[in-house]
Amino acid sequence: MPIDKIFKDDASEEKGERARMASFIGAMAVADLVKSTLGPKGMDKILQSTGRGHSVTVTNDGATILKSLHIDNPAAKVLVDISKVQDDEVGDGTTSVVVLAGELLREAEKLVTSKIHPMTIIAGYRMAAECAREALLKRVMDNKENAEKFRSDLMKIAMTTLCSKILSQDKEHFAEMAVDAIFRLKGSTNLESIQIIKKPGGSLRDSFLDEGFILDKKIGIGQPKRIENAKILVANTAMDTDKVKIYGARVRVDSMTKVAEIEGAEKEKMKDKVNKILAHGINCFVNRQLIYNFPEELFADAGVLAIEHADFEGIERLGLVTGGEIASTFDNPESVKLGHCKLIEEIMIGEDKLIHFSGVAMGQACSIVLRGASHHVLDEAERSLHDALCVLSQTVNDSRVLLGGGWPEMVMAKEVDELARKTAGKKSHAIEAFSRALVAIPTTIADNAGLDSAELVAQLRAKHHNEGCNAGIDVISGAVGDMEERGIYEAFKVKQAVLLSATEAAEMILRVDEIITCAPRRREDRM
């Protein structure tokens, strides 16, 4: 029996050289796709969905672009995954990680062509990655002890992160907001208690940080608009059963009076439920589900503010922030944990009314209100701000910082080059290739800004041969500049994650020597 017949008819396999080429080409195509979004002068991409409504996303966030693509090439999927993990883990560097992995594979392709075994290349890459990490560790700065310097470091990191995003024009304003919000978290990396509300209208500069919690709901008719020292019951329960729903119930009765009796019984049941809720001694009731007119009236008579249909994320966050728990049964008032806050009032943002909870039990909580020209601008602003918040929350825990603007890559490349000279055997070619791949990041930053990358990178390399050099690419002036003076800083954790993830992904793709595609499942004729 010939070996080909192991697989079903429609299955395909590619072996050896062809499989490796398919992996390399797929991964490099993905890297080239997001390459133009790297750096302060990176461009945006428009992503249009084919679903209903043809929704449009405008973004230059590497992870968002790659997440939206439906990719067939298996090696390209590995790069999409590392960019997702980078986004979840540290928030920033999603484009850099893909570009670096793509460059490592581009260099590996040349080495494989000149008959160097993939395992030798992997061993060289491993040594080079370790050496590069050591080089960064020697040059990190840590100002955790000095609160003022640490805050200024965080401001610089936030501004560097926001530099390549839509918020770059007002980066000082947004960096200040992000740093304030992160300092309120007191070292926690849980960004749940920072709520971002998007309201179209105004300009990005009108965005502000508000202490406390804002719920995007209106206060009902005839209810108190302002409550001091609020006791809040957060619930997820049905408050819409006081009417017989014609479509939802089937009742067989002899006369209309019987229907009225059933409705009366339903109303009584609802009244009992409302009384049980009021027995908790509350003055604010927030429910995830609808509250019909009758119970709303009862709450208004008792002077209790009732808020209906607060979306699930809203009540989860409200429970977290006010220190309450979400209740769904009300028979034992002593076992229910109520939320507390000093003041509830109605506020206006643009044209909309919202409910503001201030003086909440969890002091860390705050809301960031984003204003902007359109939904697309607001979505991109939220992604940019979220990246900055992620990076800052990680930096508060691991306070080591580096300079930015291609400086870390040049520092690593210099050390890796020296290692290549000391290493005997074929591995040295792989180590040298790793150094060339690292230099591709400053090269891409310069290319995207329309500068002469060959000239700038050559100048950078020469400057980095002096000890303690702080030179990097300053795309604003279009020359090599001192990164410390320019205040361009990055978090060590982000750079380390980029380096290690990209190397591991490149290694994984390099090991491939066969791609087997399964036969698609056939629909059987059920006639």
Would you give per-residue pLDDT tens digits along the chain (527 residues)?
Answer: 455 567 777 777 777 778 888 888 888 899 999 999 988 888 888 988 887 777 888 888 888 888 888 888 888 888 999 999 988 888 888 899 999 999 999 999 999 989 899 899 999 999 999 999 999 999 888 888 888 888 888 898 988 888 888 887 888 888 988 898 888 877 777 777 788 888 888 888 888 888 878 888 887 777 888 888 888 888 888 877 656 555 566 677 788 887 788 778 888 888 888 888 888 888 888 888 888 888 888 888 888 888 888 776 677 777 777 888 888 888 887 888 888 888 888 888 878 888 888 887 766 778 888 998 888 889 989 988 988 888 888 888 888 899 988 899 999 999 999 999 998 889 999 999 999 999 999 999 999 988 898 999 999 999 988 888 888 898 888 888 888 888 889 889 999 999 999 999 999 988 888 777 777 777 665 55
pLDDT of residue 347: 86
Rounded Cα distance, 277 and 274, in Å: 5
Closest CA to 109 of 524, 506, 520, 385: 506
Question: So which residues are the catalytic ones?
Answer: 61, 94-95, 387
Q: Where are the beta strands (DSSP E) in 297-351?
A: 305-307, 339-349
pLDDT of residue 248: 61
- CA angle, corner 150, sides to 148 and 151, nearest 5? 65
Residue 262 has phi, psi (to 5 degrees) of -60, -45
What are the angstrom distances between the C-alpha of 163 and each of 447, 475, 515? 17, 11, 40
Rounded Cα distance, 296 and 309, in Å: 13
User: Which residue blocks in 140-170 are alpha helix, DSSP H?
Assistant: 147-163
Q: Does domain 12-141+403-517 have CATH number 1.10.560.10?
A: yes
| Second CATH level (architecture) for the domain 213-362 | 3-Layer(bba) Sandwich (3.50)
pLDDT of residue 235: 84
Rounded Cα distance, 428 and 421, in Å: 7
Rounded Cα distance, 12 and 4, in Å: 10
Tally helices (H) and strands (E) across the chain. 16, 18
Phi-psi region of 287 (alpha: psi -120 to 50; beta: other; left: phi over 0): beta
- Return the SS3 of 286: strand
Rounded Cα distance, 382 and 255, in Å: 58
Q: How many residues does the chain have?
A: 527
Provide the angle, in degrees to the nearest 10, between the axes of the packed helices 94-113 and 74-89: 140
User: What's the half-sphere exposure (Cβ side, CA atoms, 13 Å) at 498?
Assistant: 27
Structure tokens at 16: 């050896």
Are residues 120 and 430 in contact, defined by beta-carbon separation less than 8 angstroms? Answer: yes
Q: Residues of CATH 1.10.560.10 domain(s) within the chain?
A: 12-141+403-517
Q: Residues of CATH 3.50.7.10 domain(s) within the chain?
A: 213-362
Are residues 111 and 418 in contact, defined by beta-carbon separation less than 8 angstroms? Answer: no
Closest CA to 394 of 131, 137, 132, 89: 89
Structure tokens at 367: 């809301």
Are residues 213 and 365 in contact, defined by beta-carbon separation less than 8 angstroms? Answer: yes
Are residues 103 and 444 in contact, defined by beta-carbon separation less than 8 angstroms? Answer: no
> What sign for the dihedral angle of Cα 386, 387, 388, 389?
positive
pLDDT of residue 2: 52
